Amino acid sequence: MTGVGGQGIQLIAKTLAQAGMREGRQVMMFGLFMGTIRGGSSESTVVLADDEIVAPPIVPQIWSVLAMHPAGLPPLGRKMRPGGVLLFNSTLVKSPPAWDGVRLLGIPATAMAEAMGQVVGAAMIALGALAGATGIVRVESLHEALAEVLPPHRRKLVDTNAACLRAGAEYAAGHAETDAPHAWP
**pLDDT value at residue 160:** 95
Give the model confidence (pLDDT) of 110-122 as tens digits. Answer: 999 999 999 899 9
Q: What's the pLDDT tens digit per position in 41-61? A: 889 999 999 999 887 778 889
Ranges of the chain whose pLDDT falls below 70: 34-39, 176-180
Tell me the β-bridge partners of 29.
46
Which of 91-127 are b and which e, b meaning 16 or more Cβ less than 10 Å from the residue's Cβ? bbbeebbebeebbebbbbbbebbeeeebeebbbbbbb
Q: Which domains does the chain have, with CATH numbers?
A: 2-50+59-175 (3.40.920.10)
pLDDT at residue number 176: 62
According to DSSP, residue 106 is labeled E
Task: Provide the whole-model pTM.
Answer: 0.93
Which residues lie closer than 8 Å to 42 by C-beta, 6 or more apart? 2, 3, 4, 5, 6, 7, 9, 10, 31, 32, 33, 34, 72
